[in-house]
């Protein structure tokens, strides 16, 4: 849950006073990384705290990450003066979530046999 708060903060805070990175689409790497972490951590929560099966935990965590990412872009576009919503950010968020789903799918199979 702390990761979710951290993602929210970094997606809504004003970065205009900070130095910029000149690498093209550098912010997309940040979006991808944030949503990879968001999806993976929520998967662990839904899998082990809520005792969901791997598939259900993956679907819930990816769905949460996707909806959360879209809502953050809407908030940026409509309720902040220094940030703007971007469909490319939504795509980067989605790719990060999908990579997390793939990674968790591969890594969760060994966890399933050890915990059950």
pLDDT tens-digit profile of 28-65?
999 999 999 999 999 999 998 988 899 999 999 999 99
Three-state secondary-structure class, residue 7 = helix
- 58 half-sphere exposure, CB direction, 13 A CA radius: 15
Give the helix ranges, DSSP H, for 80-115.
Answer: 87-115
Mean of the pLDDT values across residues 94-112?
A: 89
Task: Indicate the pTM of the whole model.
Answer: 0.83
Q: Is the per-residue pLDDT at 19 higher than 80? A: no
**For all residues of the chain together, what is the average pLDDT?**
87
Instruction: Give the whole-angstrom CA distance, residue 83 versus residue 27.
Output: 12
The dihedral region occupied by 51, where left means phi > 0, alpha psi between -120 and 50, and beta the remainder, is left
pLDDT at 113: 46
Burial 21-42 (b: 16+ CB within 10 A, else e): eeeeeebbebbbebbbbbbbbb
């Amino acid at each position: 849950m702390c990761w979710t708060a951290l993602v929210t903060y970094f997606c809504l805070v004003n970065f205009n006073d900070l130095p910029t990175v000149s690498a093209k689409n550098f912010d997309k790497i940040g979006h991808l990384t944030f949503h990879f972490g968001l999806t993976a951590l929520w998967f662990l929560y839904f899998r082990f705290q809520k005792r969901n099966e791997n598939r259900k935990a993956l679907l819930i965590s990816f769905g949460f990450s996707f909806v959360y990412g879209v809502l953050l872009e809407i908030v940026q576009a409509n309720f902040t003066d220094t940030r703007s919503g971007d469909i490319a950010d939504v795509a980067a968020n989605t790719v990060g979530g999908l990579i997390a789903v793939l990674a968790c799918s591969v890594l969760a199979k060994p966890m399933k046999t050890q915990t059950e």
